[in-house]
Structure 1
C-alpha cells in the first residue's frame, strides 16, 4: 500500500517509514498538517496515518478536511500519544477507522494496517464483481456489459478492474503506472492516457451505462457513477458472486 503519515517528530516518522518498508508498504511522511493535506489532495494514497498533536493543524482537524474533501472512503488510522477514552471516541466518531496509542508495538501496527487494507477492499477475493450493468469475472479475466462479453486485452482488463475497484477515487498517472503496469515512471505517462482513451470506448463507459471516466487536469482520472444525463449519481448497487461465468 501507499501510505501517508502525519508525524511531526522526524525520527519517529522515519522509524515508521522503515517498518512499513520492511513489510512492502511505501510511506510518505509529513511533519505539518498543511503539507499532509496538500499531498493527499494531489496524490493517491491507500491509507492515512495521523498523529493528533502537530504544530499547525491538529490531527482531528486534518481528519475533518479529509472526510470533506476526499470522495472515496480512504482508511484512516490514528497513531498518537493521546489515549483517553474521550479522545478515542472523538476520533472514531469523526471518521477514523482505527486508533492506536504510542508507542505502538510494531507487529500490531502492521496487523492493523493490513486489516484496514482488507476492510477497504472486501471484494478482492471474489470471482465475480457487479457494478451496475458491468460484470467483472476475475478468474477468467473477462468483463461483460448487459450480459455481452467485451473484447479486451490483458492490460485493458487490469486497468478496468483497478478502476472499478477504486471508483470515486482520484487515480494519478504515476499510481496507475505502478499498480497496473508495475513500473515507476520508466515509461511515459502518455501510455496511461492512450490506454484510458481506448478503454472508454471498449468498455462503453458513458452515462447511458451509469459511469464516466473523468479526467482531472494534470492529476489523473476518476471513475464516477452518473445518471443518464451525465450528472453525478449515487453509486450503482454493487454485488459480488462466487460462482458462474458469463453466458
Structure 2
C-alpha cells in the first residue's frame, strides 16, 4: 500500500504516519508512507506517481488539501481514495469535502484506532483490502495460482519467475489503472537493484511475451510515456498502443 499524507504541522504529520504504520500486521508487507508538508510538493508527485490512498489536511499555507482533492478528481484517470483529516469540523465543511470527492472526513484531534478503522473501511470500499476467497484467479484464458505462484493458459504452464508473477498479479489487480514506475519499483525492487539498468522495462517485455499480453489474446499492456504502464482489456481499450499522460 502506497500512501501520501499531507499536513503542514510536522508533529501531526508524524503522528498520522505512526498511526498508519501500525495497520499492516507482521505477516503483511509494510506500507510505504510518503509525507508532505506542502500541497505543491504533493501535487508535483501526483502528476508523475501512483498512490493507493491520500490523507489530506485542509488548511495549508500554499495549496489546500481540498484543492488537491479536487485536482485529483478532475485530472487523474483513476484518482486514489482520499480521507480529509482536518480541524475544520463545521457541517458545511464536511459537506463540501464529501461533495468534492472525499471518501471520508475525520476531525482533529483524531483518535488513532478510529483513523485506522476508517482507513481500512475506505480501502475495502475501493477493493484495495479485500480478503481473497480463493488463491486462484482467472483472467480470460490465464489462471493465476497464488499458493504455487504459477500461471497457466488453458491448462498449459507458463512458468514465470516469482518476481514476474507478483508483477503480473499487480497489473491484473489494477486493470485499467495507470501505475507509475516509482510505484512498481517500490513494490518489487530494492534500492540496490534499481541502480541497475532498466529492470522494470525488462520484466514488462518478458511479461508481454510470456503471458501473451497482446490484442489478439484480449490484452494491451500500454506504455505511458514519462509515467509508467497500464494493463487493459481490449474491450475497454481505446485501441492505442501507447499514450502520453496529459
Normalised to the residue count of structure 1, the TM-score between the two structures is 0.79
Q: Deviations over 1:138-185 (max 9, x none)?
A: 33433344665534333222111011112233333343233234x234
Residues 1:26 and 2:32 aligned together: yes
Task: Please give the alpha-carbon distance, in whole angstroms, between the structure 2 residues aligned to 1:176 and 1:189.
Answer: 15
Could you tell me which of 66, 87, 109 is aligned with 2:93?
Answer: 87
Aligned to 1:106: 112
Task: Decide whether aligned partners of structure 1 residues 167 and 118 sit closer, same or farther in structure 2, where only a CA change above 3 A counts.
Answer: same
Could you tell me which of 44, 55, 69 is aligned with 1:63?
Answer: 69
Could you tell me which of 184, 188, 191 is aligned with 1:184?
Answer: 191
Q: Which moved more, 1:59-68 or 1:139-148?
A: 139-148
Contact 2:142–2:153 (8 Å) recurs in 1: yes
Task: Please give the alpha-carbon distance, in whole angstroms, between the structure 2 residues aligned to 1:167 and 1:229.
Answer: 11
Task: Decide whether aligned partners of structure 1 residues 189 and 123 sit closer, same or farther in structure 2, where only a CA change above 3 A counts.
Answer: farther
Q: Which moved more, 1:33-42 or 1:23-32?
A: 23-32
Give the alignment's Cα RMSD to 1 decimal: 2.7
1:165-176 matches, cutoff 5 A: 165-176=173-184
Task: Decide whether aligned partners of structure 1 residues 94 and 229 sit closer, same or farther in structure 2, where only a CA change above 3 A counts.
Answer: closer
Task: Please give the alpha-carbon distance, in whole angstroms, between the structure 2 residues aligned to 1:155 and 1:91.
Answer: 40
Aligned residues between the structures = 231
> In the TM superposition, what is the alpha-carbon distance from 1:89 to its structure 2 partner?
2.6
Could you tell me which of 167, 172, 183 is aligned with 1:164?
Answer: 172
Task: Decide whether aligned partners of structure 1 residues 132 and 51 sit closer, same or farther in structure 2, where only a CA change above 3 A counts.
Answer: farther
Contact 2:87–2:107 (8 Å) recurs in 1: yes
Q: Deviations over 1:110-137 (max 9, x none)?
A: 2222333343325551323344454433
| Structure 1 runs not aligned, ≥5 long | 233-247
Normalised to the residue count of structure 2, the TM-score between the two structures is 0.79
SS for the counterpart of 2:171 is: helix
